[in-house]
Amino acid sequence: MAIILNIDTATAIGSVTLAKDGVVLQTLKNEQERDHAAVLTLFIQEILKTQQILPEQLDAIAVSAGPGSYTGLRVGVATAKGLCYTWNKPLVGISTLHMMAQGLLAQQQDTDAMYCPMLDARRQEVYTAVYDAALGTLMAPQALILTPDAFTEWLDRGKIYFFGDGSMKWEQLMIQNTHASFVPYHISAEHMIPLSEAAFRQQRFEDVAYFSPYYLKPFYTPGAKA
């Protein structure tokens, strides 16, 4: 088991969680997306100071690696990489969608259902994936343009929880199905803990020099020339 600093800035809600042996020691949260860059290092300093943990006592740093907000992902990953360089710690990258599925599974405790996190990717598009109750990947993470029958294949198999800030668009568009369940979900770096612990035990670390966020689609700048 380990002491791991978990960082999530993939969405409008950013948070930092320090965990020891898989147990939350402290979490700080920021709900102002534009301020992630300003508060992230302050959160980290405050948590380490409050918990009386020195940087050298950390075993790893984990970061939600996307998909999500381009700006938010860059802030979180750049901060995590900088700390890993400075403190000589291994880096763990966690899929934001996988992390969300872990969080809702812990909330619902429904082992007979599938879990479909959705992040708003603008217009009728979402970042999404489908996981089983063991968090195995059934549909790989992707940027998906929603259509009324987009998840028919999965809904035919059984109950699916749809959640995240992109699920509202899907609820309005989909063909009604009794296997679809829409539930509230609040993202938190705490939901990374089981995944970052598992990655640490298995020594699944990222190359700090070359690691970059999982954007899933190219960054678009209005007016940019090809």
Q: Which residues pair with 162 in a beta bridge?
A: 116, 182
The pair phi, psi for residue 64, each rounded to 5°, is -70, 120
Give residue 115's pLDDT.
98
Mean pLDDT of 66-78: 95
Give the model confidence (pLDDT) of 1-21 as tens digits: 799 999 999 999 999 999 999
CA atoms of 129 and 122, how far apart (whole Å): 17
pTM of this structure: 0.93
Give the model confidence (pLDDT) of 96-134 as tens digits: 999 999 999 999 999 999 999 999 998 899 999 999 999
Give residue 218's pLDDT.
66
Q: Which residues of 197-209 are buried (b: 16+ CB within 10 A; e: fewer)?
A: bebbeeeebbebe
204: which residues sit within 8 A by CB, 6+ positions away?
Answer: 92
Residue 225 has pLDDT above 50, yes or no: no
Give the model confidence (pLDDT) of 6-61 as tens digits: 999 999 999 999 999 999 999 999 987 668 888 999 999 999 999 999 999 999 99
Mean pLDDT of 209-214: 95
